[in-house]
A and B are shown apart, each in its own frame.
Chain A
Amino acid sequence: MPITTSDVSEYLRKVAEVLAENKEYLTELDSAIGDADHGINMDRGFQNVLRKLPAVEDKDIGTILKTAGMALVSSVGGASGPLYGTAFMQAGMAAAGKRELAAEDLLAILEAALKGVLMRGRANLGDKTMVDALTPAIDAMREALENGADLTEALDKATAAAEEGMKATIPLIAKKGRASYLGERSIGHQDPGATSSYLLIRTMAEMAHAKQA
């Protein structure tokens, strides 16, 4: 079953819900190694996405994702605004004109999104950022699809890898963003951006399951 435009809109709504639920948790994580605003930032951003969504819901998937990216860029601020904003804008570019997505298309879109994050933030794997959750997730999804998995299975693999990557940020020293100023004091804390990235991936898998049922 391909992914449709309304699936994409529903996904954005779900993400807004999940981030609202995790607003305090993400902020708590950010207060340990940052400036205690990641949950607030992400919630503000996706509330803005919800406001912009109705106007483009009948458009193609590329337009919907690009609009979400612009909505994030213009409302989040901080480091995560340009990073997630660029991710969604690049994803939108990769989905330009499309009204349906096969599993392979979704992979290509996620790859474009990650490329956007890397281009904007220039973080390396292991710098204790969202990249540490996104990279293994997309690698796992690619591998699963190459081995013949369907979309739901591939997204389950991606979620598991994202969770592992997120947890693996705990012992790392931060080398990018505000947390890097703490040096060794950043050890022992989970990265807030890696956590929100995990939530974004997990929500995709949950939707795939719901659709299959």
Chain B
Amino acid sequence: MKKLINKPEDVVKEELEGMALAFPELIKVHFEPNYIYRADAPVKGKVALISGGGSGHEPMHGGFVGMGMLDAACPGEVFTSPTPDQMLEAAKTVNSGAGILYIVKNYTGDVMNFEMAADMARAEGIQVANIIIDDDVAVKDSLYTAGRRGVGTTVLAEKICGAAAEKGYDLKQVAELCRKVNINGRSMGMALTSCTVPAAGKPTFDLAEDEMEIGIGIHGEPGRTRMKLKSADEITEMLALSIIEDEAYTRTVREWDLEREEWVDVEMTDPPFEAGDKVLAFVNSMGGTPLIELFIIYRKLYEICEKKGLTIVRNLIGPYITSLEMQGVSITLLKMDEEMVELWDAPVKTPSMRWGV
């Protein structure tokens, strides 16, 4: 293992210390339990957004804490979900009284830890809604699996819902918007190389020099298929078509019903893309893929969208949701309406996403 670290067990702690020193005007870091929060929290009258997950996906989520996006982020160990005490303490710190939205990626561990955190926060009188992001089309079946994983759409949901909260949406409205973003977003990723979790010391999977893994998650989980390496255009086409041609996807998720005050099973269906749709195209590096390659991907993606009758109205290109040093790319397409475009363009000021200010 060749990494710029000191000790594997100190990786997360030392990263957080560095972040706190780098952005003192934007964020603060609390240790034990670990969470990053807005320097000006709690923001009066505003719904607070909290997300979290394993570390190793930087800049997600900590890099998205700040005005117009998240109020707090709870980082777990590398690729391990955070624990409920982190989310509970973060909620207590950023709650202004307008309630908390937990944005949760669909991984069994994340879902259960956030559910416990929500129960604990409610027991302390804090209003909490939880919305699950499950946008990875590489997972086909939801009946026999834990369902689609949460990947690229998470970043977009955090930006759009963060802007909405800033604008004064109440908790129910922000939760509904988050649900809307989730069902309209779809992603798929691929890897050219594996990654090495510091504590493990060796690559998560082996991939030969001439092979690639299609349909990976963001933790170096094996994907749908392994195949011989292809050109950027061919890879882009494979990912883009899996997304664009994905049929309506229906699954049941557990959500907290704010009115009935109990956990309920909600059935939701993602509508398929149609010619005429306006989309946000997000081309994401898994950490080790440089911008030069991302633009080659974007060029082809643009052409495919055009051919399919999809108009790209906004884009995001860069490393935003990564798997440590993995080489690879994920594509996310999010169907946009006017409200979402306006919220996307709204000012944001965080360590890793900043515009309009």
Contacts and interface: CB of A to CB of B under 8 A. Distances in A.
A105 B219 CA distance: 42
Contacts of A176: 108, 146
A173 B80 contact: no
B63 interface: no
A74 B145 CA distance: 26
Contacts of B141: 183
Interface of B is mostly: loop
B232 interface: no
A192 interface: no
Majority secondary structure, A binding face = helix
A101 to B, nearest CB: 26
A86 to B, nearest CB: 8
A180 interface: yes
Given A181-B139, A182-B222, A73 B116 contact: yes
Nearest to B199: A40
Nearest to B145: A180
Contacts of A79: 81, 108-109, 112
B116 A37 contact: no
Interface in A66-98: 73-83, 85-86
Interface string B1-42: 000000000000000000000000000000001000000000
Nearest to A37: B80
Contact of B109 (A74, A75, A81): A81
B246 interface: no
Contact of A185 (B145, B149, B222): B222
Given A77-B113, A79-B108, A35 B149 contact: no
B115 interface: yes
A115 interface: no
B204 interface: yes
Contacts of B85: 73-74
A178 B146 contact: yes
Contact of B33 (A74, A85, A86, A182): A74
A211 interface: no
Contacts of A13: none
Contacts of A178: 107-109, 146, 221
Interface string A150-193: 00000000000000000000000101111011110100000000
Interface in B48-94: 54, 76-77, 79-85
A121 B112 contact: yes
Q: Which 3 A-B pairs have the closest CB atoms?
A: A82-B112, A180-B145, A78-B109
Given A78-B81, A177-B146, A178-B107, 19 more contacts: A35-B79, A35-B204, A37-B80, A73-B84, A74-B83, A77-B80, A77-B82, A78-B80, A79-B81, A79-B112, A82-B84, A120-B116, A173-B144, A175-B145, A176-B108, A180-B145, A180-B146, A181-B221, A183-B144
